[in-house]
């Protein structure tokens, strides 16, 4: 039941945002009483925090598996980008703003995940790409990994990319394409384009 509540509430928060979904909404969607929810989660903030922890754990597992099994740095970063789009496909664009403003514990979990795990993952990828000859040797992995982390968060900024004007997936793809082309050597660009063409042909 605890996992059922976690999964059901997560779907509602991702679709409608955290702020607009009440515990009554969660109970109604799951066809259970609000009292049942409070047996496992003392309040909405605890539920939101648990969901954040669960999502970050899932993403860590996904990214670590990709890093372990990828053929090269470009294969890795390409797969991670696809994985990111999968995780973000149905997310409400204001969710990070709402976590930051109303749910500090959940926001801290996300911030730690972003500044430690994700940043270090990107840094290792850049270092790997340089050693493989696919990324330019003059780039600074520390600087560009920090830049990429902040670039990803920009996607959620409604002032920069209002959802009425921009498609969430298109913004992500454009920023990723811009970022990776700044890394690539001629050798890396050739391999990256091969990955793109292979992906297009496999979905044709």
Share of the chain above pLDDT 90, in %: 72
| Residue (of 204, 109, 98) closest to 158 by Cα position | 98
Output the CA–CA distances (angstroms, integers) from residue 204 to 141, 169, 201, in the order listed. 35, 19, 5
Q: Which two tokens stand for residue 129?
A: 């790409």
Rounded to an integer, the average pLDDT of 49-57 is 94
Residue-wise pLDDT for 117-156, tens only, equals 999 999 999 999 999 999 999 999 999 999 999 998 888 8
Distance of alpha carbon 93 from alpha carbon 152, whole angstroms: 12
**CA atoms lying within 13 Å on the CB side of residue 120:** 7
3-class SS of residue 183: coil
Q: What is the pLDDT of residues 56-74, one digit of tens each?
A: 999 999 999 999 999 999 9
Residue with the bigger pLDDT between 93 and 184: it is: 184
Residue 135, strand partner residues: 184
- Quote the pLDDT of residue 132: 98
How far apart CA 45 and CA 27 sit, in angstroms, is 15
52, 104 contact by CB (below 8 A): no
Predicted confidence (pLDDT) at residue 16 exceeds the cutoff of 70: yes
| pLDDT tens digits, one per residue of 154-179 | 888 888 988 889 888 888 889 999 99
């Amino acid at each position: 039941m605890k996992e059922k509540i976690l999964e059901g509430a997560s779907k509602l928060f991702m679709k409608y945002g955290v702020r607009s979904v009440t515990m009554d909404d969660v109970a109604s969607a799951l066809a259970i009483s609000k009292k049942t929810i409070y047996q496992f989660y003392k309040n909405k903030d605890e539920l939101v925090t648990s969901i954040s922890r669960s999502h970050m754990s899932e993403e860590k597992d996904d990214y670590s598996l990709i890093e372990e099994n990828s053929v090269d740095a470009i294969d890795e970063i390409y797969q991670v980008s696809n994985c990111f789009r999968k995780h973000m496909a149905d997310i409400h664009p204001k969710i990070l703003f709402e976590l930051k403003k109303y749910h500090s514990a959940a926001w801290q979990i996300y911030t730690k995940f972003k500044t430690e795990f994700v940043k270090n993952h990107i840094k290792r990828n850049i270092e790997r790409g340089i050693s493989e000859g696919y990324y330019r040797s003059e780039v600074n992995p520390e600087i560009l990994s920090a830049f990429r982390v902040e670039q990803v968060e920009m996607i959620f900024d409604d002032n920069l990319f209002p959802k009425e004007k921009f498609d969430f997936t298109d913004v992500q793809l454009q920023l990723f394409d811009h970022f990776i082309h700044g890394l690539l050597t001629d050798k890396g660009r050739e391999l990256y384009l091969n990955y793109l063409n292979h992906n297009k042909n496999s979905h044709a």
